[in-house]
Amino acid sequence: MRRRRVTYRPSKAQGAFGLVWGGVFVLIGLFVAIPLFGPFGILWTLGAIGITAMNGYQAFGKKYTGPEITIEEDNPQTSDVHPSSPTPETHDHIPSTALDAKQRLEQLESLRESGLITQSEYDRKRREILERL
């Protein structure tokens, strides 16, 4: 089983958007919520400050790397499988043995374009599909 780690970091535009709207909510807290609602207004303003600071750190902080996602992939040994019998590989929505070659190649291409598989994985799997024709 091979593991691949992927991290996600919000874009600067997303962080700037969060900062702007967080600033708006801080101002609402300072000038509307605190004078009208007292303790609730203070809680509102502190929450808005926290959310604004978090957005700024996530988008512009140098040490922030984002949440990490671990993807586990099975690499079955293909030496035990007879080349004429398709392996019963399944995906989360449809089994790939149910697809014809054209559909499988299109599905494989979309996986490569979306970055879910590498070019070498794409090439290897494409060869396997074409060999079964």
Same domain membership, residue 84 and residue 55: no
pLDDT tops 70 at residue 96: no
pLDDT tops 70 at residue 94: no
What is the model's pLDDT at position 27? 97
For residue 94, is it within any domain?
A: yes
In one letter, which amino acid is 129?
Answer: I
What is the model's pLDDT at position 131? 87
The reported pTM is 0.46
Which residue range(s) make up the domain with 19? 2-60
Banded pLDDT at 123 (limits 50, 70, 90): very high
pLDDT in tens, 51-92: 999 988 887 887 776 666 767 666 555 444 445 545 555 545
In contact, 14 and 54? CB cutoff 8 Å? no
What is the model's pLDDT at position 98? 52
What is d(CA 53, CA 39) in angstroms, rounded to the nearest whole number? 21
The total number of structural domains that make up the chain = 2
For residue 122, is it within any domain?
A: yes
Same domain membership, residue 6 and residue 55: yes
Q: What is the dihedral of CA 111, 116, 120, 126, to 10 degrees?
A: -20
Query: From the CB of residue 15, how many other CB atoms can be counted at a distance below 10 Å?
Result: 20
Phi then psi dihedrals of residue 7, to 5 deg: -115, 155
Which CB contacts under 8 angstroms, 24+ apart, belong to 111-119?
Answer: none
Tell how far CA 6 is from the center of its chain: 8
